[in-house]
Amino acid sequence: MEAKTAESSKTILTDLVLPSETNPLNNLFGGELLARMDRAASISARRHSRRIVVTASVNHVAFNRSIPLGSVVTIEAKVSRAFKSSMEVYIDVWIEDRESGECIKANEAIYTFVAVDETGRPVSVPEITPETKLEKQRFEGALRRKQLSLVLAGKMNPNDATELKALFS
């Protein structure tokens, strides 16, 4: 399978924050943002693999900045690294300033998707070729994050998480 660029999986989802999607402080409800990120990231993983994809894990979410009612929210998702059947997708969330149009980074998250066949069995996906400095940074850290996720899920023995252990040696 031929490797693909991270850029070719880029997916952008722009939408408003409506009253039914907010918490009592009139900020976007966390679960609503998780769902929007899942949607954008799954499209990104599908664009990379051209297969059915399922969310395997949500590895990291940082709700750094609240997103007020009426905001224009842009979610950008890109596959940062592909392994055998799994893909790490990096998600950046931006809010657009109403007057200046400037985009301010609000949140980021990392999800893992797995490409599957019609029976739900994992299938192989193409590799990723990172191009930009940021894509290369994210690619480099992805194996460590995959090992951490597998250890936390009880699917990997910590002793086998060599990349993760190297952080502490």
Ligand X SMILES: CC(C)(COP(=O)(O)OP(=O)(O)OC[C@H]1O[C@@H](n2cnc3c(N)ncnc32)[C@H](O)[C@@H]1OP(=O)(O)O)[C@@H](O)C(=O)NCCC(=O)NCCS
Taking CB under 6 A as the criterion, which residues in 5-34 touch ligand X?
A: none
Rule CB under 6 A: say whether 78 interacts with ligand X. no
Q: Hey, which residues does 27 pair with through a beta bridge?
A: 68
Taking CB under 6 A as the criterion, which residues in 118-137 touch ligand X?
A: 120, 122
Rule CB under 6 A: say whether 46 interacts with ligand X. no
- Number of helices followed by number of strands (H, E) in the chain: 3, 7
Looking at 71, 73, 112, 164, which residue binds ligand X (CB under 6 A)? Answer: 112
**Beta-carbon count within 10 A of 104 CB:** 12
Stretch that binds ligand X, among 27-35, 42-50, 92-100, 143-151 (CB under 6 A): 143-151
Comparison of 63 and 83: residue with beta carbon closer to ligand X: 83
Rule CB under 6 A: say whether 54 interacts with ligand X. yes
Q: Which two tokens stand for residue 52?
A: 């059915």
Q: Do residues 36 and 61 touch, judged by C-beta distance below 8 A?
A: no
What Rg, from alpha-carbon coordinates, does the chain have? 17
Comparison of 17 and 48: residue with beta carbon closer to ligand X: 48
